[in-house]
Structure 1
């Protein structure tokens, strides 16, 4: 029994913590910042003001995490984010391919709790910042409502991933809130503030379930009574729930920070009013057996403060794919703005305009220009309102966290401020470490001098020379134009043979198309067109492209224009760096087959060519002369870990039928080896939405599951079974001295050739 007499001076428990990095905010950006820093040996405190991690991706909000792949609805081929966030998504796929938001909570929590260098404070809110000078944060004060404990946390560096930027705000860092006028950054897409508004609102979701018997619903008195008059009620479809209800949005005319609770209350009124309309208006008789299973209590917030760095990203950076000297990550979601009136607006639910390819984000956007030791991560980074419309997406935000986590270690080790790391003589250290961890910084050539593989001679038991993909008896009608995306060589004449079936005599129109720029995959230029007469029935077709005039290596689109009277035969074979795309519509991301912006917006017009989700999206069965031989062993040490528009698949792919291929690295002198890193193909073209969407497999079939590593004497120094991760970081129990390393891989999928993007070898 505890008994205390009356005291005049009572206070809550106080705890002081002293670490290397304080991360405020436990969304995906904060989780990535904390875990990356912890894995670099930094002591980290992660402060999250909610009971779960994940922010908008958590079970409290239940928004799927997306990024540059944009639901596979744009031209950003092989663009899913890499590094830690890809590791998280692959873990989630393995254990949660159905997309249960509760399970995703556990994936994130496990990832943090497994790091002994992280102290996690849930239900803990930062409320005070203490500084040791105008430009230096010394500590933050936070309070946990669940254990009545106050925390003072000191560190040499701080990462603000809190969404509203509470640390940056209290520290006095300069910020913006709302839209800029078009003239400030020469942004044609900048909104008319008076009409459209200058802030994006919050959204609140609900889930339903079918009980198998009629369920009545009586609306609470606070529910709106006029849901049938809402401009956006037309968006509702039977049994639509979860984040497909993103259009249930409100609050862009209010203070999205200090009036956030008022916004939530209005959204509750709207949600229950919508459900009252669905259940009781008589317009949805099919909803008779449906009941509400879950209604969000925390709205998903899109926009509030954006803090000023030494550079502010703007529309032209995205549209022109500008490459900054200090680029550290990429984005690729559309510039996606929403009318401030949300559910009550007369405007379309959103305005999305895509770029032709991924764009880079400079490190100078990821620290406060006013503070020496404050990194910015998530949606608060330095960007104009228009550019923010793209960078705010969660997987892009996660990559900013990876940057902050890595940067904090480099700054501490070298006694640099956050700004000093941005200097041209220093930024390369950060870029190298990020790329080694899988960041794939666009168009940045990197060389790791510590990687012994860079000095090795490499050979393989086989290398793919793609001459034929065998048919499987399945046919695809040219309801939409279809293209086989292939890595071609310059100044080469190509011939193709394939089987087609025509319902009547007609003409098959084929084109070879490429992008105008090696920066993206958007097909803009037709090199040659062939019109092939067909007769009714099944026949073989020869395509000879002898006038391509291709002056440099490039991915090219072997295109078959839509013709519902023609069918093409497909193959089961899947190959790293090879895929098909179609000119289809994806309204969810404003893809209507072609982007045609009004004049004056400063945006590009172009066609969309997008892949189908697995198990769809099969390749075309065809013969290729000469064969495509860009899949040889040398790719495994070329420092690229995904296919790029310049015509390089960047993967070593074993020959078709080589089910247990070997890759050998050898040196003229014995080397002491302690660590290896293998980069497998996680199908970067597939959007791995973390919840609700669901996926057909629990593992990416391109990833090699079983392999062995042997030394020069044939001794197995490492063996892995059941791998599903893209990056395997292998630390040997003890160092091995050898003049060669042999990797024997096996593939359990009959129609998928073994592939490997990269192997690295280190002394320590």
Structure 2
């Protein structure tokens, strides 16, 4: 029993803790950064002011995680973010293909608590910090942050040599005096022609979502007194659909004319008014009889924030960098979401809810955007990185932010190794930073990386029991009308384009147009260059046709065999799916601003081009074809080419379809001593894997290898992996294995997909 009385003011319980890195903000960015840093061997304190991790993707807000894949609505092929965020998304789809936001919470929490180097502080808000005194050495450095946990009435003082602000509003950077911006730059400052004017507004607002469900019986709804009484005052009221729920209601947005940091509570109340007023309209206006049996199941209690402060680093990413896909020598991350600005008036605006303008492919983000230019030990990550308002419109999305968090974490580990600042690391150890990021799974566009420690690079020979020489995509019983123009993407090497034979079923005699296209940049997948056009004379019924192309390719890339729209013609498709091959459609995608073609009506500094996008499985079959010469780009040399995914080629070794349990053998001139083996598998980087709303047709990607057995030169089993569903797996040997030949047996479970492997590394 405790009995206590005091005349003096009591003090809160206080705990002092230290680590190598303090990360403030447990959204997706901070979570990925903490996991990465811990695995890199440094100690981390992760401070989160909410009861769960994830921020906007948590069960408290329920926004889907998106990035470069853009709901499969742009031309960024094989562009899903890799590394820790990929691991999280694959684990979630394995456990949670129905997109239950509560289950996703547990995936994030489990990933954090499994890392012994991470100390997690939930419900803990940073409110102050300490810096070195002015006039002293390192006066621009933070020494500690102060935080308070409302659940245990405890004050924390958290010290570290390095800090990362992933808080969304930039609380640490703000308190530390880090240079920041809020609002939109003028057109003149950076020459960004998409920069908004005052009428459109300088900030994006917050959103609040709700979930509803049909309970099978009539349900009445009496709105609270604060609900918006006349929803028809909202210009977009006609957009309401009683079947929409969650982040499909992203356009329930407000607050861009206010201070999106300090007015958040005011914005929240206005959004509550709108949400409950909208549900009252749906239930009681009489315009939605289908809502009679529906009830309101969940309403967000905190708004999802889009924009507040942006902090200045040594470089500010601009619109031109994104549209032109600028190459940086210090690339550490990438993006690919559209330039996605919203009118500041949000739901009260009479303008479209968003303006999305895409680039022709993914873009690079330099390391200099991820640390403060004037607080020397502060990393910045998430939506607050160093970017203009227009560039931020793309970089702000969560999957892009997550790979930035991974970049910061690896940089922090190297800063400890070399006892240097973030800026000094970029100046003196950039190649090592990029190498360690590459090892962690990060994709670095147009950035060659060499790993001298990878023993496979020194192998005298890498052989396989079989290698795919693709002669055909065999036809199936599935035929489909060419309602939208469709193309088969085929990897080609320098030389003459392959001749293809294909089959169509015509309703009547007619002409059918087929084009050969390529991308103007070999690392892109926008078919914006037409090389040849052929017009085939069809007879009624099934036609076997051959396209003999005269065109040549001067570099490796993808050829697009484009079958132009004709609803009276059916194409034959194949059930065979192969790593690095995909069919794409010139169709619309209502999930994003994709109307088949991007056509700005004025010069706003973006390109005009067509969208050719894949279909979601179980659709998305390849087109049945036969080739005059085999497509032979799937050799074992791809295992050491330094690329983890298809880009201008598949970049994978692929076995013959009939070799169901292929064997790869890595051989050295002399016995090699190996401590671990790392694998990179194909988990379909076209699939965006939204963590909520969407229901996914499978829990394991069809291209993914499921089982691996590793043997030495004496055929003794030294390592295994079973039931795999992840992109990157590592086998660590209890004792180092010395062998002159390492044999790797692989198998999968999909009979229509040949076994493939992107990479194998030994250390």
C-alpha separation between the residues in 2 aligned to 1:134 and 1:649? 50
1:152 maps to what in 2? 157
Matches within 5 A, 1:111-122: 111-122=111-122
Matches within 5 A, 1:61-80: 61-80=61-80
1:608 maps to what in 2? 611
1:206 maps to what in 2? 210
C-alpha separation between the residues in 2 aligned to 1:78 and 1:660? 26
Contact 1:227–1:270 under 8 Å retained in 2: yes
Alignment equivalent of 2:195, drawn from 190, 193, 198 = 190
C-alpha separation between the residues in 1 aligned to 2:160 and 2:508? 74
1:566 maps to what in 2? 569
Matches within 5 A, 1:599-748: 599-645=602-648, 648-748=649-749
C-alpha separation between the residues in 2 aligned to 1:114 and 1:552? 46
Alignment equivalent of 2:597, drawn from 579, 594, 598 = 594
1:112 alignment partner, SS class: helix
Aligned: 1:380 with 2:381: no
> Deviation at 1:494?
1.9
1:109 maps to what in 2? 109
Deviations 1:647-683 (A, max 9, x none): x110000011110101111000001100110000010
1:31 maps to what in 2? 31
C-alpha separation between the residues in 1 aligned to 2:71 and 2:662? 34
1:13 maps to what in 2? 13
More deviation in 592-601 or 604-613?
A: 592-601
Contact 2:497–2:553 under 8 Å retained in 1: no
Aligned: 1:225 with 2:229: yes
> Deviation at 1:493?
4.3
C-alpha separation between the residues in 1 aligned to 2:328 and 2:493? 29
2:135 maps to what in 1? none
Alignment equivalent of 2:584, drawn from 577, 581, 586 = 581
C-alpha separation between the residues in 2 aligned to 1:490 and 1:509? 25
2:145 maps to what in 1? 140
2:458 maps to what in 1? 455
C-alpha separation between the residues in 2 aligned to 1:90 and 1:310? 34
Aligned: 1:440 with 2:424: no
C-alpha separation between the residues in 2 aligned to 1:493 and 1:721? 40
Runs ≥4 residues deviating over 3 A: none
1:220 alignment partner, SS class: coil
> Deviation at 1:219?
1.0
Deviations 1:320-378 (A, max 9, x none): 00011101111000000000000100111001100000000000000000011110110
C-alpha separation between the residues in 1 aligned to 2:691 and 2:420? 36
1:494 alignment partner, SS class: coil
1:37 alignment partner, SS class: helix
Deviations 1:559-609 (A, max 9, x none): 100100100111110000000000010132100000001232111000000
Aligned: 1:56 with 2:72: no
Matches within 5 A, 1:239-258: 239-258=243-262
C-alpha separation between the residues in 2 aligned to 1:482 and 1:382? 39
Aligned: 1:175 with 2:180: yes
More deviation in 413-422 or 309-318?
A: 413-422
Contact 2:523–2:557 under 8 Å retained in 1: no
Contact 1:459–1:634 under 8 Å retained in 2: no
C-alpha separation between the residues in 1 aligned to 2:497 and 2:726? 39
> Deviation at 1:539?
2.1
> Deviation at 1:236?
1.7
C-alpha separation between the residues in 2 aligned to 1:585 and 1:381? 32
C-alpha separation between the residues in 2 aligned to 1:361 and 1:42? 24
C-alpha separation between the residues in 2 aligned to 1:636 and 1:327? 23
Matches within 5 A, 1:535-574: 535-545=539-549, 547-574=550-577
Deviations 1:243-285 (A, max 9, x none): 0000000000000000100000000000000011111111111
> Deviation at 1:469?
1.3
- The number of residues matched between the two structures is 757
Aligned: 1:426 with 2:433: no
1:170 alignment partner, SS class: helix
1:410 maps to what in 2? 414
C-alpha separation between the residues in 2 aligned to 1:227 and 1:5? 55
Alignment equivalent of 2:350, drawn from 343, 346, 350 = 346
C-alpha separation between the residues in 2 aligned to 1:596 and 1:519? 23
2:151 alignment partner, SS class: coil
C-alpha separation between the residues in 1 aligned to 2:242 and 2:613? 27
Contact 1:206–1:294 under 8 Å retained in 2: yes
Aligned: 1:261 with 2:262: no
Deviations 1:503-522 (A, max 9, x none): 01111111110011123111
C-alpha separation between the residues in 2 aligned to 1:335 and 1:498? 38
C-alpha separation between the residues in 2 aligned to 1:93 and 1:506? 45
Aligned: 1:47 with 2:47: yes
> Deviation at 1:134?
2.8
1:213 alignment partner, SS class: coil
Alignment equivalent of 2:328, drawn from 318, 324, 337 = 324
1:492 maps to what in 2? 496
Matches within 5 A, 1:471-482: 471-482=475-486
C-alpha separation between the residues in 2 aligned to 1:750 and 1:415? 52
Contact 1:336–1:352 under 8 Å retained in 2: yes
C-alpha separation between the residues in 2 aligned to 1:241 and 1:376? 33
Contact 1:180–1:384 under 8 Å retained in 2: yes
> Deviation at 1:7?
4.1
2:366 maps to what in 1? 362
1:308 maps to what in 2? 312
> Deviation at 1:549?
2.8
C-alpha separation between the residues in 1 aligned to 2:379 and 2:187? 28
> Deviation at 1:489?
1.9
C-alpha separation between the residues in 1 aligned to 2:452 and 2:446? 19
1:163 maps to what in 2? 168
Aligned: 1:336 with 2:340: yes
C-alpha separation between the residues in 1 aligned to 2:336 and 2:758? 22
Deviations 1:143-196 (A, max 9, x none): 000000000011010000000000010000010001010111100100012x11
> Deviation at 1:229?
3.1
Gaps of 5+ in 2: 133-137
**TM-score, scaled to structure 2:** 0.98
RMSD: 0.8
C-alpha separation between the residues in 2 aligned to 1:112 and 1:128? 25
2:194 alignment partner, SS class: coil
Quickly say closer, same or farther: Cα 1:7–1:712, change in 2 above 3 A.
farther
**TM-score, scaled to structure 1:** 0.98
Contact 1:679–1:759 under 8 Å retained in 2: yes
> Deviation at 1:740?
1.1
1:684 alignment partner, SS class: coil
